[in-house]
Chain A
Amino acid sequence: MDARTQEFVEYVQSGGQVEATDWMPDEYRARLIKFIEMHANSELMGVLPERDWILRAPTLQRKLALTAKIQDEVGHAQLIYRVVEDLGKPRQACLDDLVSGRSKFHNVFHYPTRTWGDVGVIAWLVDAAAIISQKALLRCSYAPYARIMKKICWEESFHILHGRDVVLALVTGTQEQFELVQEALNRWWEPLMHFHGTPIPADEDPMLFWRIKSQANEDARQQFLDGYVPQIRELGLEIPDPALRKDEETGRWLYTEPDWERLRAVITGHGPASAERLAFRRLSREDVAWVERVILAEAA
């Protein structure tokens, strides 16, 4: 490592922040682009599982809240892709790589949404898991990314409210409505346990080395379990993991080891809805390609 890079590493590791126009090592830039691009991809692909339910929301209030939530996610994709663009990778290149499967998006968006129960569980628990990761990014060494995270976290907090409200309405409704939530929780639990990634030790995680991330994967998962297991259980819902319990001595949650091989398969595009989602994104992008051409490219 040359002296300039060494100095940079010490600077970011001691809490220093970097701006778009500052010098940065190539490796740092490349890691930022890859990580932030995947975040943007996830916001954009995260729209699709919920989008079908925009047309099916059962009251006007739910319709409006769900549309607003999905709108927020598109807005997040916009903000985050802008950060990637300023690091040197244009939005069109990001979208090309996304639809051709060259770049990744988050595991939870590779799964189908089967019922209205999924809409509640996703908005409540997937967004809760996401807000934990995103709050940790408020301390990211790359300042433009850390700054937009404030707006993103603020908006995510509405989603959790909306999701929890949908879930509360269902668990206090008919037996069938309660079961919609339980059944959705059963299907979403494994993806939720995968959400924060493999428990890679902090001192081996390059994202922590560059202080792009500031929280180890397992710490994020523990924070999620701490916050949400009691909230799930108090509604009379059962979490589908008989081994799940808190070790009172260490304060850590114990759980059945998730199938990490499956996580790897899912995020490399072999999830139950991966191919369908990418095909849909590709087609809808082709349908409107002329608009970008006419409006953005050719206009005076």
Chain B
Amino acid sequence: MSARTDLLLSIADDELILGWRDSEWTGIAPFLEEDVALSSIAQNEIGHARALYELAAAELGTSADELAFDRRPAQYRCAPLVQLRRLEWARTIARRWLYETADEIRLEELKGSDDGELAGIAAKMNREEAYHRLHAEMWVDRLLASEEGRRRFFEAVDELWPYALGVLDEGLRSELRRRVEERLGRELPAAEAIERGRHEPELVELWDEMTMVRRSAPAGARW
């Protein structure tokens, strides 16, 4: 597999699994208006995953659906950050915000790529992610505005920080730290990144569930 396909699959898997996790909130988000908004974000992420899988599928001679569903859990390349199952709300926002901050750094790199197709899709994704960032930032502001919100949010960020580092290649991590610390106005603990390639038990559970219907009919069945 080419380095390009490998990269495409890493990002696609991140977007797919994060979208799947965020969609766990559909129907039970803190209030109805937010429920509708978060559900759109989940759908966007999965839409991004599909577009990236299609690029990878062209090279691998397969399809987006087969890449999304028919691999074994160990073959997924997503960062452990997105594997964690539906988190309570402060952690959900912290994960969204950390992911979007990291993703922005990653997309900035990709947009400058010599590979026109890759640069193009990165630019397109970034236009939607800008809206996700707006959503995350407005939540961060709201949480920071109250004593209880701030306490819960900092706790969540500290817990997820080692996972957030794992979203990016090593060379980009100092930039992530700089942006997060600047935004929060506080220093983050020194931490070892929880690296891509590690598979949390929660990913295997999710995979069992997300593929159960598809696996119930012979390969190639129509759904």
Binding site for B on A (CB under 8 A): 44, 47-48, 51, 53-60, 62-64, 67-68, 70-71, 73-75, 77-78, 81, 91, 116, 166, 169-170, 172-174, 176-177, 281, 284, 287-288, 290-296, 298-300
Contacts and interface: CB of A to CB of B under 8 A. Distances in A.
A172 B23 CA distance: 29
A64 to B, nearest CB: 6
Contacts of A77: 32
Interface of B: 20, 23-24, 26-33, 35-36, 39-40, 42-43, 46-47, 49-50, 53, 64-65, 68-69, 88-89, 142-143, 145-146, 148-149, 152, 206, 209-214, 216-218, 221-223
A132 to B, nearest CB: 24
Given A64-B46, A68-B43, A295-B149, A54 B23 contact: yes
A75 B64 CA distance: 30
B214 A58 contact: yes
Contacts of A60: 46, 49-50, 53, 64-65, 68
29 contacts: A48-B27, A55-B20, A57-B210, A63-B20, A63-B23, A64-B46, A64-B47, A67-B39, A67-B42, A70-B27, A74-B26, A74-B29, A74-B32, A75-B36, A77-B32, A169-B222, A169-B223, A170-B223, A174-B218, A177-B221, A288-B29, A288-B89, A290-B148, A290-B152, A291-B30, A294-B148, A294-B152, A299-B145, A299-B146
B38 to A, nearest CB: 9
Contacts of A300: 145
A209 to B, nearest CB: 32
Nearest to B149: A294
B213 to A, nearest CB: 4
A68 B36 CA distance: 9
A71 B39 contact: yes
A77 B36 CA distance: 10
A173 B222 contact: yes
B26 A59 contact: no
A67 B23 CA distance: 7
B36 A71 contact: yes
A300 B209 CA distance: 42
A78 B36 CA distance: 9
A296 B139 CA distance: 12
Task: Identify which of B26, B53, B64, B149 gathers the most chain A CB atoms within 10 Å of its CB.
Answer: B26
A34 B205 CA distance: 42
A291 B40 CA distance: 20
A74 B47 CA distance: 21
B26 to A, nearest CB: 5
A91 B33 CA distance: 12
Contacts of B222: 169, 172-173
Contacts of A71: 26, 35-36, 39-40, 43
B26 A54 contact: yes
A174 B221 contact: yes
A74 B35 contact: yes
Contacts of B142: 294-295, 299
A55 B210 contact: yes
A155 to B, nearest CB: 12
A51 B223 contact: no
B31 A296 contact: yes
Contacts of A176: 216-217
* Closest CB pairs A-B (n = 10): A47-B27, A291-B30, A288-B30, A58-B214, A71-B39, A78-B32, A284-B28, A58-B223, A58-B213, A74-B35
Contacts of B223: 58-59, 62, 116, 166, 169-170, 173
